[in-house]
Amino acid sequence: MNTPPPAIKSRQSLKSFRAFLWSVRMFISKKVSFRSLTKYRQSFQHPDLIEGVRGIDPASDIAAHLSMLFFFTVDAKPRLIVELGTRGGESTRALLSAAVVSNATVLSLDIEDCSGLDLAHRQRWHFVKADDIEFGKTGFAKWCSAADLKPEIDVLFVDTSHLYEHTKQEIAVWSQLLSERGVMIFHDTNLGRGTSARLGHLIGHGWDNQRGVIRAIEEFLGKHYDESCFSRTWQTDFC
């Protein structure tokens, strides 16, 4: 009988043990990617939104929120929508799609020149290159009068520096310009607490901005939000 010597036998079992470990790793990694694919998938349903967001980068920091931004904007039945922070215009696309449904106008602001963006529904769009605090204090009313619009904002979307002092100023200046039923929507209220995930399956660590945005909101509303668990409503606090 050809029994392998003990040294060869143990090398063979080590090899098969390694192969076993490898297949377990492959199985686990397939499972994770499968789960993340299912969990973070988003689909757009409204034809104006589908047209508006065509070609956006699914791995961007805001892609996962565009349906919600569209929904809450339409829900506000806006005439005038103002966006603070334009950059590549991803939120702009969702806001413009909502503007089509609502027969509204979108005014976007950025400290950089974003006027050349290639956007669907562009006929409803105006862009102003300005510091948002300065423009809110002095330029907005004049701009509205020149555009023959009531200087009242129905949806204000804030997505700029995410710094506490700046957000505080934005709220102080721009909340005065809201219509009676106007709403404010903020991006990146919960940064810096551990891991973040995006639609494009990017997993990373948040930027710890010392709760810059949410702290400014909390002071404005006189509420505290515990971001370590899921929210119920903004009025009755988090769960």
Ligand X SMILES: C[S@@+](CC[C@H](N)C(=O)[O-])C[C@H]1O[C@@H](n2cnc3c(N)ncnc32)[C@H](O)[C@@H]1O
Tell me how far apart the alpha carbons of residues 186 and 217 are, in angstroms, rounded to a whole number. 9
> How near is the Cβ of 167 to ligand X at its closest, in Å?
10
User: Per CB under 6 A, does 167 bind ligand X?
Assistant: no
List Cβ neighbours of 185 (8 Å cut-off, separation of 6 or more): 69, 72, 73, 155, 156, 157, 158
Out of 53, 62, 158, 171, the residue judged to bind ligand X by CB under 6 A: 62
132 binds ligand X (CB under 6 A): yes
Is 189 among the residues that bind ligand X (CB under 6 A)? no
Query: Residue 49: how many CA atoms within 13 Å on its side-chain side?
Result: 20
Candidates 7, 45, 55, 112: give the one binding ligand X (CB under 6 A): 112
The distance of closest approach from Cβ of residue 87 to ligand X in the complex, given in angstroms and rounded to an integer, is 4
Closest among 75, 99, 95, 77 to 85, alpha carbons compared:
95
Q: Report the chain's terminal Cα–Cα distance, integer Å.
A: 71
Judged by CB under 6 A, does residue 227 bind ligand X? no
Q: Which residue has the tokens 């413009």?
A: 96
111 is a contact residue toward ligand X (CB under 6 A):
yes
User: Which of these segments, 33-41, 84-92, 140-148, 173-181, binds ligand X (CB under 6 A)?
Assistant: 84-92
